[in-house]
Amino acid sequence: MTSANDAGRELQVAVIGYGKGGEVFHAPLVDATPGLRLAAVVTGNPERQAAVHERYPGAEVIPSAEELWKRTGDIDIAVVTTPNETHAPLARAALEAGFAAVVDKPFALNAVQARELAEDARRLGQVLTVYQNRRWDSDFLTLWKLVDEGALGRVHRFESRFERWRPEARGTWRDSGSPETGAGILYDLGPHLIDQAVNLFGPVESVYAELDARRGAAADDDSFLALTHTGGVRSHLWMSAVSAQLGPRFRVLGDKAAFTISGLDSQEGRLDSGERPDAPDWGVEPDSAWGRLGTDEESVPVRSERGDYPAFYRGVRDAVGEGEPLPVELHEVVHGLEVIEAARRSAAGGRTEKVDREET
């Protein structure tokens, strides 16, 4: 860990991978965070190398992770945003090379890998955290506030959807790969939906899952999870690439009121279009996108909280530079992987499965 005495200097960050994750979700946020410097991007793809040079002329392009590991002393933080099956090996290599590490979701392919990585970080005294940006979605922050204030009363059902209309598979590794290598929509969108449910309503004790491949590939593209939380709340999570009509993003039912909101937080779209995440109106949603609180007979619009993806990298900066708490704790994402493993067992056996939980 960088000492507090060094906290005044910029922490040097290397982003490993420059696909959509690196280009859209990580490099712009690192570049816009005071106290962090996008020092390097690791990619061997010539087109992506050219794109890095054009957008971030001050960042060095390094052709391979093996070259990066030789840069101990130059780099403080390595961000792993590569295909899912490489997350755990690259994160371990980064820690052993002396870097703090940020790992894109899914943290690992299974809970055993994840626990081993957490233990490696403890043993080496390095900061290790996971990019769960959807905790800072506008709609989720709004729902969090409503639940915290008791505006819905006692919540008994949480419905959450990430749905898309992509009837033709794109041929990427996420579409055509095997679930054993982290392909499919459960590993792509499931970590977000499960993480939000667990943060709101606590650990999960059992899972029923349906994992379907509607477009003929090996990996699932249309999946449903029913979670029972230890506190009694039931979460129903839909993730799909073949939804011709999209359901509400959230529908949350309590004994006093319900909250429903549609559409997606705008931050991803703005990042995808090349906007910088330090714009004055970053994270602000128009009133047309606000959700409604109440009943069928009487409901009111609820002003959306401001979305804040940059909060994650501010948290990384403070954890690495000043020893502050992690923006995402490892035991939370390990539990998310325990839920994913139970979901895969459930779908294979056609029955509800208990979640195997271990302390991390």
Report pLDDT digits (tens) over 210-227. Answer: 999 999 888 999 999 999
Residues forming beta bridges with residue 151, ordered by sequence position = none
* pLDDT at residue 194 greater than cutoff 50: yes
* pLDDT at residue 5 greater than cutoff 60: no
Query: Which pLDDT value is given to residue 174?
Result: 84
CA distance 269 to 288: 17
Alpha carbon of residue 309 to chain centroid: 11
Residues forming beta bridges with residue 237, ordered by sequence position = 160, 225
Residue 312 falls in which region: left (phi positive, over 0), alpha (psi -120 to 50) or beta: alpha
Question: What value does the mean pLDDT of the chain take?
Answer: 95
* pLDDT at residue 275 greater than cutoff 70: yes
What three-state secondary structure class fits 264? coil
Give me the phi and psi of 106, to 5 degrees please: -70, 145
Domain 4-133+312-326 fold is: Rossmann fold (3.40.50)
∠ CA 122-127-130, nearest 5°, is: 105
- Comparing 19-23, 173-177, 278-282, 300-304, the range with the smallest average pLDDT is 173-177
CA distance 241 to 224: 12
CA distance 331 to 118: 8
Q: Are both 4-133+312-326 and 135-307+339-354 of the same fold? A: no
CA distance 225 to 304: 27
Length of the chain: 360
Q: Are strands 291-294 and 258-261 parallel, antiparallel or unpaired?
A: antiparallel
Domain 135-307+339-354 fold is: Dihydrodipicolinate Reductase; domain 2 (3.30.360)
Query: Which pLDDT value is given to residue 359?
Result: 66
Report pLDDT digits (tens) over 127-184. Answer: 999 999 999 999 999 999 999 999 999 999 999 999 999 998 887 878 878 888 999 9
Strand ranges of the sheet holding 11-16, from the earlier edge strand across to the other edge: 60-62, 36-42, 11-16, 77-80, 100-104, 128-131
Domain residue extents for the chain:
4-133+312-326, 135-307+339-354
Report pLDDT digits (tens) over 73-97. Answer: 899 999 999 999 999 999 999 999 9
Task: Taking the CA atoms of 94, 96, 99 and 102 in sequence, report the sign of the dihedral they define.
Answer: positive
Intra-chain end-to-end CA distance of the chain, in Å: 20
∠ CA 21-202-158, nearest 5°, is: 80
Q: Is the pTM of this model over 0.75?
A: yes
Q: Are strands 234-240 and 299-302 parallel, antiparallel or unpaired?
A: unpaired
Nearest to 309 by CA among 203, 184, 192: 192
